[in-house]
Amino acid sequence: MQAPFELTEGLARLQEIIASFPAESPYWNEAENRFKFVDRLLTECLTWEKPEIETEVLDGFGGKADYILGRPPKAVLEAKKEAKHFDLPPQGKPSLVRKLKPLLQTSKNFDEAVRQVLLYCTMHGAPIAIICNGPQLAIFQAMGTGFSPLEGECFFFDGFKTYLDNFTLLWSFLSPEGIIENRAYRLSRLAQKSSHPS
């Protein structure tokens, strides 16, 4: 899939979107978050085209995935209202890479969202899970061999400034090419190897 515009244009568009947010945006409900931010992030900033996105997809067991990206499904994105803040445990050195388990233990909202999106990923056969409440976004692997996804790591963008400051990574992970190639998984494997040299 050929991206219709470049990374630099995607960043400029995201800057414009974030600058236009009203002061009361923390009170957006889930539908407003999806319409005013998530839809625009995907299509206007990350080059997703609407035929490659399905929304409100039923799983046959009473669940409904907010977004399924790719055909066949490559990722499921679960949107939450911005008031559903994900509390984070403190960490020594700031990093986008976080262990999932401490986040699950610290934030009930995050724990519920993770378990919900993992179920949708399983039902639709999508290997990548994404959660977004607006200013916070997590990307992690929904499927693994020999380990539970809850034992893994995620890339966690905490705040709109983090999106802007790390847009190259956001683009690499969530653009159609990044999702298809599962670059978040590849980069997390490289990071683990470099931090644990043999």
Domains and CATH numbers, the chain: 29-85+97-195 (3.90.1570.30)
Asked whether residue 15 carries a pLDDT value surpassing 50, the answer given is yes
pLDDT band at 190 (very low <50, low <70, confident <90, very high): low
pLDDT at 120: 94
C-alpha gyration radius of the chain: 16
pLDDT at 1: 53
pLDDT at 195: 44
Q: Half-sphere exposure of residue 74, counting CA atoms within 13 Å on the CB side?
A: 19
pLDDT at 61: 78
Q: How far is CA 6 from CA 13, 62, 168, 183, in A?
A: 11, 39, 11, 18
Q: Which amino acid is at 37?
A: F
Residue 52 per-residue DSSP state: G
Neighbours of 40 (CB within 10 A): 17
pLDDT tens digits for range 26-53: 667 788 888 889 999 999 999 999 999 9
Average pLDDT, the chain: 88
pLDDT tens digits for range 119-139: 999 999 999 999 999 999 999
Q: What is the pTM of this model?
A: 0.89
